[in-house]
Amino acid sequence: MLDMPGHTAAENRAEPSIWLPSHVPVSILPLNGKGRNIDAAQGQEESPYAEPSPGSLLTAYRKMVLGRRFDEQATALARQGRLAVHPSSLGQEACQVAAALALRATDWLFPTYRDCVALVSRGIDPVEALTLLRGDAHCGYDPVRHRTAPQCTPLATHAAHATGLAHGERLKGADTVALALVGDGATSEGDFHEALNLAGVLRAPVVFLVQNNGYAISVPFSEQCAAPGLAYKGVGYGVRSEHVDGNDAAAVLAVLTTAVEDARAGGGPWLVEAHTYRMAPHTSADDPSRYRTAAEADRWRDRDPVARLESALRERGLLTDEDVKAAAAEAEAYAADVRERLSVDPDLDPASLLDHVFGAPPAHLMEQQSSLRAGLEDC
C-alpha cells in the first residue's frame, strides 16, 4: 500500500500524518500545456504518482473530446424539450474520463446525475445514459452488465452503497474496487460521512472521488466547509486522502490509478478531492450569473482541461492536426447519432412502472400490476 508498507491498522492510527494529502494539489501538466509544471513543482516533494503513458493520455484526450461534444448535445436536447433536464459536466471532463479509465471492467462505478460523460466513457450507450434525464426510467442501462450503479440523484446516498459493495466483493474473494463519484455539496451530507467511517473501519477497497467544482448548486465552497480542503476530511476516518488539480487529466488519472490499485491490493479506502470548475449552469434550468461572476468563469476557462491536455500532447509531439480533426469528427458523428435517436419518442409500457421493484414481487404488487394492465386495455 502506498506510503505505509508493513503498517498495521493500529500503527496507522498512531501516525495520522500518513493519511494527509500532499502539501499542494498534485499536478503534472502546466496550464498552457507547454514545458514543465513549475508552479506544481514548487513546495511539493517528488511525486509518488507515475505519469500516465502516452497511449493512456491519447485515449483520455479522445474520450474527453467525445465527452464534451456529447455533453453539449445533451444540453441542446434539454433546451429543445427532448430531455427533462441536463446537469452539464462541462469543464469537468478530466475527472469524468479519468474515473472511467482508472477502473478495470470488473470494477464498479457509482455515478451521480452529473456523470453522464463518465458513463459513456465506460462504454455505456449514450441514449441509455440519458434515459434517466429524459424521464423514461430510473435507469436506462443494465447495472450488472456494465458494473455501473444507477445514477444517484439524492446526494451521497450511493457512497454507502459503494462501500458495501466493495466490502461484499472482498468477502467473496474478488479483487473488485468500487469508485464513487460525489460533488462537493455531497460532502455535507451525513451519508457521505457514514460511508467514509464504515469504509475506514472495514478497510474496504473503495475510492471516493470528490469533484469540487466550487459550488453546491449556488452555495460557494467557503460557505460549505471550514476545513482547508475536502481531502482533509479523510484523516478523521482513517482514510488515505489526496487532492489533485482536477483540470489536469494526467494528474487525475495518475492519482486515481494509484488509489484504485492500492485499494485493490489491500491498502484500504481513499478519498481524492479534485479541484475543478463547472463552466456551465448547475442544470439547464439554472442561471449561474446570479451567484458567480463572469470574470470568475473566464479565469477557469483559461484552465480548460481539454485544451490543456491537447496543448501538452502537441508540445510532446504526440498529437497532430490530423489527430485533432479525427477526434473532432468522431465526436461530431457520435453527437449526431445521439441527436437522431433521441428525436424519436420512446415506446413506453406504463405497466413497467412496477418492474424491478422487488427481486421476487409480492402478491399485492402483482395484483396492482394486473389491475393496471386491465385498466390500460380498457383505454
Is residue 282 flagged as an active site residue? yes
The DSSP output letter for 345 is P
Our CA angle for 261, 251, 22, nearest 5°, is 80
Angle in degrees, 0-180, between the axes of helices 93-101 and 54-79, rounded to the nearest 10: 120
Is residue 62 flagged as an active site residue? no
Q: Which of 79, 104, 291, 301 is catalytic?
A: 291
Q: Which of 82, 147, 278, 308 is catalytic?
A: 278
3-state class (DSSP) for residue 76: helix
CB burial of residue 379 (10 Å; 0-12, 13-18, 19+):
exposed
Q: Which of 158, 243, 282, 308 is catalytic?
A: 282
Please name the amino acid found at residue 325. K
Residues 6+ apart with CB under 8 A from 208: 159, 162, 179, 180, 182, 192, 195, 196, 199, 239, 269, 270, 271, 272
Please give the torsion angle defined by the CA atoms of residues 286, 245, 92 and 114, in that order, rounded to the nearest 10 degrees: -70
Q: DSSP characters for 164-223?
A: HHHHHHHHTT----EEEEEETGGGGSHHHHHHHHHHHHHT-SEEEEEEE-SEETTEEGGG
Task: Give catalytic residue positions.
Answer: 278, 282, 291
